[in-house]
Structure 1
Amino acid sequence: MVDDGDGGQVVASLTGRLHQLSFVDITADRVTARVIEAVADWAAGQGWRVYRRARSVLPLPAPMSGQFSIIDVACARPDAPPVVVEVDRTDRARTAEKLVAEAAAGRVAIWVRWGTGPFGAPPPAVHLVTCAVTHRNGSAGQGRLYTRRPDTDRPPPAHSSGPGTADVVELPIPLDDPGTS
């Protein structure tokens, strides 16, 4: 495994960005596209050059071995190793193989997995970022629809009266009490 130096910081930053991602009732393809877009926007916000569908260092298997796999998002950073990001819903062996090759080439390799989980651990050279979503079956012909509403720390709702402002009544209430009729 190549020591990527700041990989943990990069992963934490991307995790924070994806934590803000929100959508309701969209298809799997649209979720993947939305996550890729969020990754590209995050990278551009870091001041990095962003390349979508960039060439991987891993060649395709025969009979297309003269061509190379594609990375969802590649980022060129000044004075730091490049960052490559693959976005998947499933646990694809080819994705893991591609990201291991990218890490061996000196890149910070990140696998963004989205879905309901659980998400298996990636190979040691690959960083994992998860994006939890929920799903429901759409109407006929729609298939599954996915929703992401990020967790938020919300204060409890305001109540009409604070603690200690209500009259305390001892239970059970005696039936012969004139105030209970």
Structure 2
Amino acid sequence: MNDDALAASLTAHLDRLTFVDRPTDEVTALLVDAVAAWGEAQGFRVYRRATSVVPLPAPYQDRHSVVDVACARPVGRPVVIEVDRTDRRRTVEKLLAEADAGRVALWVRWGPGPFAAPPPPIRLVTCEVAVRNHRHSRLPARPAPQHSAPAGAAAEPVELPLTPD
């Protein structure tokens, strides 16, 4: 599966996710769980909070940052996924470093949108979420109810009985 197909597959998986009135931390946790479940469904080995190639800034430069989810594939480059509500420069830098190290970099951005496209080769996966009173919801898409006869169908007038006052 190529990089664009991976991003499209993860997008389709996240499109099925719904929740109502969740705080920010819970939404992030739900998304990380959903990303991990997607990786497992693909047959990948999934690692949460996997070590990144990016070292932490001083005084912790002997330690490394982490990515939210990393996936080892039987065939193809490893995949790293970051899940963020905000547009963080550090996340972009981390994902670019991961891509330079030979990994497929996917960035799951969630919130009300719009979402700015990250620089290539980072692939953006979006998850639009409604926000109200610092709570987040994502409801399933439902078609509008049909209120009238289909186009072209003749409607028969109905005579209503009049009742005297």
TM-score above 0.5, yes or no: yes
1:21 aligned residue = 17
1:66 aligned onto 2:62:
yes
The residue matched to 2:132 in structure 1 has which SS? strand
2:135 to 121, 129, 145: 145
Cα RMSD (Å): 2.2
1:106 to 99, 102, 109: 102
Runs of 5+ consecutive residues of structure 2 not aligned to the other structure: none
1:119 to 106, 109, 115: 115
Q: Which amino acid counterpart does residue 97 of structure 2 have in structure 1?
A: A
2:39 aligned residue = 43
Runs of 5+ consecutive residues of structure 1 not aligned to the other structure: 138-143, 170-180
C-alpha separation between the residues in 2 aligned to 1:146 and 1:155?
A: 23
Deviations 1:10-59 (A, max 9, x none): 00100000111100000000000000000000000001000000000111
Task: Give how far 1:167 is off.
Answer: 2.1
The residue matched to 1:96 in structure 2 has which SS? helix
2:78 aligned residue = 82
Q: Which amino acid counterpart does residue 145 of structure 1 have in structure 2?
A: R
**Greater Cα shift, 51-60 or 117-126:** 117-126
The residue matched to 2:46 in structure 1 has which SS? strand
Judging changes above 3 Å, is the alpha-carbon distance between structure 1 residues 49 and 23 closer, same or farther for their aligned structure 2 residues?
same
- The runs of 4+ residues in structure 1 deviating greater than 3 Å are 154-159
Task: Give how far 1:62 is off.
Answer: 1.1
Report which of the two structures shows the higher radius of gyration computed on alpha carbons.
Answer: 1
1:91 aligned onto 2:81:
no
